[in-house]
Amino acid sequence: MMTTRLATDTCSLAEAGRLLAEGALVAFPTETVYGLGADATDPKAVARIYSAKGRPSFNPLIAHVGTVEAALRLGVFNDDARKLAATFWPGPMTLVVPAARDCAVCDLARAGLDTVAIRVPVDPVARAILQSAGRPIAAPSANVSGHVSPSEAQHVLADLDGKIDAIVMGSASRVGVESSIFACLKGDTIQLRPGAVTRAEAEQVIGRAIAIPDEVSETSPLSPGRLASHYAPRAPLRLNALEVRPGEACLAFGQEIPPGATAALTRNLSPSGSLEEAAANLYASLRHLDSLSPTGIAVVKFSEEGLGEAIFDRLLRAASPR
């Protein structure tokens, strides 16, 4: 299959939306990472996402819509969900809520659950495509299942060129890690995945603590997609490294470069120590270091505060046994 490259002018974005509405697989940029979109109301289109990515079909997908109003129609929003939606949408946050009785998102996209994951991206290119499609679009990250997520169009092509119908060639994703996911079901709101909207920010909005469920198994209905090994480069990762061993690459942060690091095999996520910058550079840096075929990647110690929670979460999964 030939993967069509689409530009980001108005006409091309309308075309991307039309292709999606016709059942095509179209990768597109969002502020978090690139998504691999398909019509969330069409099980045949959704099935193609699972096969292009090699993704287990018990792992449900996020439904993306262009407006908050469209989002509110898909699910049942309790007080917490309403407050979070009003504050952080459009933006890098996903809410898991009970599916509305007439929820348009098909069973396959929801992996048979009676809940639905919803997101309203803020990226203008993503919004134009969603408006043109005029229906919820299921979109996981546009990478081969288990591999490093894509924050640039070239990352998508490296994984999926020839396996998808089209890609919108936008710029690098501003945030660089996937959306935060909060589940607002019965009882307390919980965080299923850390991301750009930090737990502390969300707690401030709802006025109480947000718990993190115990690391759940891959078959848990609570968070079926949180596989232990995920976001992984080929080279094994070694976390909290105090030194870099011969043959290893180094993923650094801030001013202190561990002994043994060589310039050619080092990427610094943010020399100034900015977590925002580090998140934006994370996946491109992992892909770059991996392309140098090191024996491993030594990762310096990271703060787990604020956005650091999301970065550390991704590193932990990238490092976990395959």
Cβ at position 269, least distance to ligand TXA in Å: 19
| Residue whose CB is less far from ligand TXA, 140 or 296 | 140
- Peptide bond before residue 90 is cis, with ω within 30 degrees of 0: yes
State which residue, 42 or 248, has the beta carbon closest to ligand TXA: 42
Query: Is residue 174 helix, strand or coil?
Result: coil
CB 2 within 8 A of CB 162: yes
Closest CA to 312 of 219, 195, 225: 195
Q: Looking at 12, 141, 198, 223, which residue binds Mg ion (CB under 5 A)? A: 141
216 binds, among ligand TXA, Mg ion, none (CB under 5 to 8 A by kind): none
Is 140 a residue that touches ligand TXA (CB under 6 A)?
yes
Position with the least CB separation from ligand TXA: 225
Query: What is the distance between the alpha carbons of residues 104 and 136, in angstroms, rounded to a whole number?
Result: 8
Query: Could you tell me if 143 and 150 are in contact, meaning their C-beta atoms sit under 8 angstroms apart?
Result: yes
Identity (one letter) of the amino acid at 150?
P
Helix (H) / strand (E) element for 167: namely strand 166-168
Residue nearest to Mg ion (CB): 141
Task: State the Cα–Cα distance between residues 65 and 95, nearest whole angstrom.
Answer: 12
Restricting to residues 279-308, name those near ligand TXA by CB under 6 A.
none
Give the nearest distance from C-beta 244 to ligand TXA in angstroms. 30
Output the six-digit token pair for 307: 């956005």
Q: How far is Cα 153 from Cα 167, in angstroms, rounded to an integer?
A: 8
Residue 62 binds ligand TXA, judged by CB under 6 A: yes
Show contacts with ligand TXA in window 173-232 (CB under 6 A).
178-179, 181, 192, 223-226
Check if the beta carbon of residue 302 is closer than 8 Å to that of residue 312: yes
Q: Which range in 82-90, 134-142, 156-164, 232-240 contacts ligand TXA by CB under 6 A?
A: 134-142
> What would the two tokens of residue 68 be?
């908050």
For ligand TXA, the closer of residues 184 and 241 by Cβ is 184
106-125 footprint of Mg ion as x/- string (CB under 5 A): --------------------
Q: Phi then psi for 217, rounded to 5 degrees? A: -75, 165
The residues of the shown chain that bind ligand TXA, judged by CB under 6 A, are 30, 32-33, 35, 59-62, 94, 96, 110, 113, 115-117, 119, 139-141, 178-179, 181, 192, 223-226
